[in-house]
Amino acid sequence: MGMDETRRVRIEKLRWHCRRALLELDLVFQRFWRDAGNELDEATLSTMEKLLELEDHDLWELISGRRNNVDPQLQDLLARLQAPRTI
């Protein structure tokens, strides 16, 4: 499997893992993927993998701003996920 194919598979797995039980999370991640497409760097992909290890309610607490993020590695990605929707 080539580098491009490996990257494509990794992104598809991340997209799949973004499908969550909470509708609010699904909507946030749908917007994120629509805006980001496949143009994510390695650091963002790694951060997304780390973020998706969280349980849905913990993840929503972070994205909604109800809980403060204590992990500096997650800060930029959380800011992107929290950004207001632009039409």
What residues does each domain of the chain span? 3-82
Residue 22, SS3? coil
**pLDDT at site 51:** 95
Mean pLDDT of 55-74: 93
CA dist 7 and 38 (Å) reads 9
Mean pLDDT of 53-72: 93
**pLDDT tens-digit map of 28-53:** 999 999 988 778 899 999 999 999 99
pLDDT at 15 > cutoff 90:
yes
**Which CATH superfamily, name and number, covers 3-82?**
Flavinator of succinate dehydrogenase (1.10.150.250)
